[in-house]
Amino acid sequence: MTLTGRSIIGSQLAEPCGKAFHAVNPATGQSLEPAYYSASDSDVNQAAAAAARAFEVYSRATGKAKAAFLRKIAEKIEGLGDDLVNRAVAETALPPARIKTEIGRTCFQLRIFAQLVEEGSWVSARIDRPDPHRTPIPKPDMRSLERPLGPVAVFCASNFPLAYSVAGGDTASALAAGNPVVVKGHNAHPGTAEMVGQAVRDAVRDCGLPEGVFSLVFDSGIEVGVALVNHPEIKAVGFTGSRQGGRALMNAAALRPVPIPVYAEMSSVNPFFILPGAMKERGAEIAKGLHASVTVGAGQFCTKPGVIIPAADVENSAPVREFVSSFGELMKAPADFTLLTERIHSAYFDGVRARGAKQGISSVAQNLPEQNAAGFRVGTSLFETEASSFLGDATLQDEIFGPSTLLVRHSSREQLFEIARNLEGHLTATIHGTEEDLREYADLVALLESKVGRLIFNGYPTGLEVGHATVHGGPYPATSDGRTTSVGTQAIHRFARLVCYQNFPDAALPGELQNDNPLGIWRLIDGQMTRDAVSSVPKVQAKST
């Protein structure tokens, strides 16, 4: 495929008139051709206006039609073959195997959303039958379901060039719900974005959908993203990136004359607890698993364990000492990682330097890349601190994006609970324990439930499974809205809203709410979950107490 360096506005390519930038190969620091051009104000207006026009048609597309479209996108992406793998490797320095896995995950996500909308019950249809004889006021016929919001702006993630970029989870969930999407590409991988963007545009054409269902805009800075979030035709935003970036977009969206929701997945340090029984039984094995989890993908995962709380160090306990020593040895071993962008690279060095200079922090391992190493190279780093220092400094919960982590030592059960109580919102928390540990620390599980979106037992937080039950969310500042998930099929509900039809004639209702249930979906009729037609559901009188 020939790369053009131009934004895709519906079926058209934008004129190459804005500021130009190039992708950079993180392994070498060399720029990659072609030049990419920032979208102009007029490009953003055209993309948003086309999306608004397309919404009138696409929001009414059947589940079958949307499913065919999502499957067509997956097929087109797979059709890009090695060209896509090679370009993504050049732009990210991620190994080909990782890129191939990510292509697989991207297509799987598209297909699982296709299955969801084809089946159709995701709309949460509810029907409360009328009672014209109720006194003193007759009861009306009330029927509700979830409907799409309108055009969605999606910001690509630097660290997932495919699975959380142009046709990634945010786009798939927004399209599945019935919303057109305008994607803002990430400067780290514009060529990958353009290839996938062309695949989505071709899928729109092949499926006979209005061209405004999809656009992709590039930008050398932040202006285009800000313009999108402020555009009156944009009705919601999906974002994965830094806390500063997410927060700036949340603020901008809240200040609009008509505020809109921003679903931002920002930063998390994923606290990792090792309880005494597990520490005694398999401390060395946990050290190995943890090292792999901290360093996989060069530590550039939002699920990386960035704060480790080993069991209480009661009287210099031998199992804790041995765990700390073996984990320290693994983190000290020579290692050389390449980060995704110059900005992430310099943020890593700044973060590690600042943490190392803090009172009460000691550096256990500090691997530096060879001097003059080409590209955005870093080594691992491991810090250690005491509970009192951790509790006194909120910045120790800040994410250092890259292969770095922090051990928090403590000397009592009470201190462990104090640490847990002081955690801010994170995406995950992990507990390693035995059955006896779990019984003894049941309150810890209850406490962590209010802090994170996913609790992991005897496992590692990296390597998230995508499915119907997946939750990848958590209270602020992990995300902008802790009630939702950005991964898995429940992400669709972020881009839909409830609408209620009162006393409508059957023929004028959406198929999902019609008496005969022509789509065969699960519905809640007078409080009973069923796939039956309205007339077949027996009326149950609510009991009065």
Catalytic residues: 265, 302
Within 289-348, which residues bind ligand NAP (CB under 6 A)? 302, 343-344, 347
Among 163, 248, 294, 382, binds ligand NAP (CB under 6 A): 248
Q: With contacts defined by CB under 6 A, name the span among 100-108, 126-134, 243-251, 275-283 that binds ligand NAP.
A: 243-251
Q: Which amino acid is it at 117?
A: V
Kindly state whether residue 225 participates in binding ligand NAP, applying the rule CB under 6 A.
yes
In whole angstroms, the minimum distance from the beta carbon of 49 to ligand NAP comes to 21
Among 3, 39, 85, 157, binds ligand NAP (CB under 6 A): 157
* Residue 123 CB burial class (10 angstroms; 0-12, 13-18, ≥19): buried
Please state, as a whole number, how many other Cβ atoms lie within 10 Å of the Cβ of residue 249.
24
> What is the DSSP secondary-structure string of 40-91?
PHHHHHHHHHHHHHHHHHHTT--HHHHHHHHHHHHHHHHHTHHHHHHHHHHH
Instruction: Name beta bridge partners: 406.
Output: 307, 383
Kindly state whether residue 194 participates in binding ligand NAP, applying the rule CB under 6 A.
no
Kindly state whether residue 186 participates in binding ligand NAP, applying the rule CB under 6 A.
yes
In whole angstroms, the minimum distance from the beta carbon of 512 to ligand NAP comes to 35
Q: Which is nearer to ligand NAP, 179 or 267 (CB)?
A: 267
Stretch (H or E) spanning 343: helix 342-356
Query: 3-state DSSP helix/strand/coil percent for the chain, to nearest 5?
Result: 40, 20, 40
Kindly state whether residue 401 participates in binding ligand NAP, applying the rule CB under 6 A.
yes
CA distance 104 to 109: 9
In whole angstroms, the minimum distance from the beta carbon of 230 to ligand NAP comes to 10
Torsion sign over Cα 387, 393, 394, 396:
negative
Among 69, 155, 214, 441, binds ligand NAP (CB under 6 A): 155
CA distance 168 to 92: 16
Among 219, 386, 481, 512, binds ligand NAP (CB under 6 A): 219
Among 106, 192, 198, 267, binds ligand NAP (CB under 6 A): 267
Instruction: Dig out the tokens for 119 from the structure.
Output: 């089946």
Q: With contacts defined by CB under 6 A, name the span among 245-253, 271-279, 290-298, 387-395 that binds ligand NAP.
A: 245-253
Instruction: Dig out the tokens for 71 from the structure.
Output: 């499957």
In whole angstroms, the minimum distance from the beta carbon of 67 to ligand NAP comes to 29
The residue ranges that bind ligand NAP (CB under 6 A) are: 155, 157-159, 184, 186-187, 219, 221-222, 225-226, 240-242, 245, 248-249, 265-268, 302, 343-344, 347, 399, 401
